[in-house]
């Protein structure tokens, strides 16, 4: 049996992963599996820069728009589903591609995620009520006391991740960080990690231009149609949060656009900081497609 490969194409938001993935996918006959945690939701097309219908038809795509924002979906559920899809693809293809920028979701497929205890529904509800009544600051303060190590690592602006960490601490009596073994699970394929990046000022210009394009394509209208569902986790994300504040009359549209650009740039910076620890990633500019192909051939043919 020929060895199987998973080509992982990752990079910060706005860097140009979609166009590069199409070229690489065609060349290696490698169907694409999305690891963009926002593009899973079919209602969030404009604000997530989801692939266009033409791009989706150009090469086979999987796990794009396959969920509704009203459905619960977790990193663990994605790991199981993505591995199933990849296993099926490998029955007819020597290579598949994992494409996206969601760090935890990529790690889940490549390395596996740690086994955390099943949530206690009553505790979860209690913490959700606390979040609603007192805001994220209350949960941050708890986490700082319960697990200062994880407090210094977690994205403190992400209410769901902070809540999850507090939940595990309270439920088990142990720090959340003690469950993070970082042990790598065996996979039945060889992983080839390709990172795309650009000089910081160029990347930021592209991010700003992409936000302007989203506004032109109708992001405000899309957000208005999703406004009744704004309490769902899928919509508590850059691009929608800011427009919801505009709809609520808290800020002007001009300010909302400015904040989307700023928050998108901040997210790109967090992505690159996260991946800096992964020495398996080989970095390229998004226009170095031929060099990327040569690098992949070098691994496949060894």
3-state secondary structure of 67: strand
222 — pLDDT class (breaks 50, 70, 90): very high
Residue 126 sits in the same domain as residue 106: no
pLDDT tens readout for residues 237-278: 999 999 999 999 999 999 999 999 999 999 999 999 999 989
% of the chain exceeding 70 in pLDDT: 98
pLDDT at 47: 96
This prediction has a pTM of 0.82
- Residue of 219, 216, 245 lying closest to 230 (CA atoms): 245
Q: Looking at the DSSP assignment, which residues form a beta bridge with residue 195?
A: 10, 283
Residue 221 sits in the same domain as residue 245: yes
Domain count, the chain: 2
pLDDT at 183: 65
Residue 244 sits in the same domain as residue 171: no
pLDDT tens readout for residues 131-190: 999 999 999 999 999 999 999 988 898 898 899 999 989 888 888 888 776 667 889 999
Q: What is the mean pLDDT of residues 22-46?
A: 97
Q: State the CATH number of the domain containing residue 163.
A: 1.10.20.140
Domain that holds residue 13: 5-113+183-300
pLDDT at 119 over 80: no
Q: What does the alpha-carbon distance between residue 266 and residue 114 come to, in Å, rounded to a whole number?
A: 27
Site of tokens 């919801």: 244
Which secondary structure element, helix H or strand E, spans residue 297, and what is its range? Answer: helix 289-300
Q: Looking at the DSSP assignment, which residues form a beta bridge with residue 191?
A: 6
Q: State the CATH number of the domain containing residue 270.
A: 3.40.50.300
pLDDT at 123: 84
Contact 26, 218 (CB under 8 A): no
Residue 190 sits in the same domain as residue 257: yes
CB-based burial, 208-224: b 16+ in 10 Å, e otherwise: bebbeebbeeebbebbe
Between the ranges 54-58, 112-116, 180-184, where is the mean pLDDT highest?
Answer: 54-58
Determine what percent of the chain falls in helix, strand and coil, rounding each to the nearest 5.
55, 10, 35
Residue that terminates a domain, selected from 148, 179, 210: 179
Residue that terminates a domain, selected from 142, 162, 179: 179
Neighbouring residues of 88: CB distance < 8 A, sequence distance ≥ 6: none
Residue 99 sits in the same domain as residue 148: no
Residue 159 sits in the same domain as residue 239: no
pLDDT at 298 over 70: yes
pLDDT tens readout for residues 68-101: 999 988 888 899 999 999 999 999 999 999 999 9
125 — pLDDT class (breaks 50, 70, 90): confident
pLDDT at 302: 78
Residue 204 sits in the same domain as residue 166: no
pLDDT at 1 over 80: no
Q: What does the alpha-carbon distance between residue 97 and residue 29 come to, in Å, rounded to a whole number?
A: 9
Q: What is the dihedral of CA 136, 137, 139, 141, to 10 degrees?
A: 160
Residue 165 sits in the same domain as residue 232: no
173 Rama class: left (phi>0) / alpha (psi -120 to 50) / beta: left
Q: Are strands 95-100 and 32-34 parallel, antiparallel or unpaired?
A: parallel
Residue 294 sits in the same domain as residue 232: yes
pLDDT at 179: 78
Instruction: End-to-end CA distance of the chain: give it in Å, rounded.
Output: 16
Please tell me which residue, 112 or 9, carries the higher pLDDT value: 9
Residue 228 sits in the same domain as residue 273: yes
Residue 40 sits in the same domain as residue 64: yes
Residue 204 sits in the same domain as residue 295: yes
Average pLDDT, the chain: 93
């Amino acid at each position: 049996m020929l060895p199987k490969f998973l080509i992982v194409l990752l990079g910060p938001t706005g860097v140009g992963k979609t166009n590069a993935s199409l070229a690489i996918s065609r060349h290696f006959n490698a169907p694409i599996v999305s690891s963009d945690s926002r593009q899973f939701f079919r209602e969030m097309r404009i604000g997530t820069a989801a692939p266009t219908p033409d791009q989706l038809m150009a090469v086979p795509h999987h796990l794009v728009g396959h969920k509704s924002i009203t459905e619960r979906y977790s990193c663990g559920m994605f790991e199981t589903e993505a591995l199933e899809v990849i296993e099926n693809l490998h029955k007819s293809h020597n290579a598949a591609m994992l494409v996206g920028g969601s760090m935890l979701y990529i790690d889940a497929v490549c390395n596996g995620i740690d086994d955390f205890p099943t949530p206690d529904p009553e505790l979860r509800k209690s913490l959700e009520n606390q979040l609603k009544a007192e805001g994220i600051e209350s949960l941050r303060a708890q986490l700082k006391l319960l697990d200062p190590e994880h407090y210094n690592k977690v994205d403190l602006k992400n209410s769901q991740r902070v809540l999850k960490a507090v939940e595990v601490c309270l439920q088990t009596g142990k720090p959340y960080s003690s469950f993070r073994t970082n042990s790598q699970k065996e996979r039945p394929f060889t992983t080839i990690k390709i990172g795309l990046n650009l000089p910081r000022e160029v990347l930021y210009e592209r991010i700003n231009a992409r936000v302007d394009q989203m506004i032109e394509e109708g992001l405000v209208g899309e957000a208005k149609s999703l406004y009744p569902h704004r309490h769902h986790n899928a919509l508590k994300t850059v691009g929608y949060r800011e427009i919801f504040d505009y709809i609520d009359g808290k800020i002007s549209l001009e300010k909302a656009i400015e904040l989307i650009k700023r928050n998108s740039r901040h997210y790109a910076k967090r992505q690159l900081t996260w991946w800096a620890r992964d020495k398996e990633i080989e970095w390229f500019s998004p226009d170095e497609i031929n060099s990327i192909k040569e690098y992949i051939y070098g691994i496949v043919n060894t």
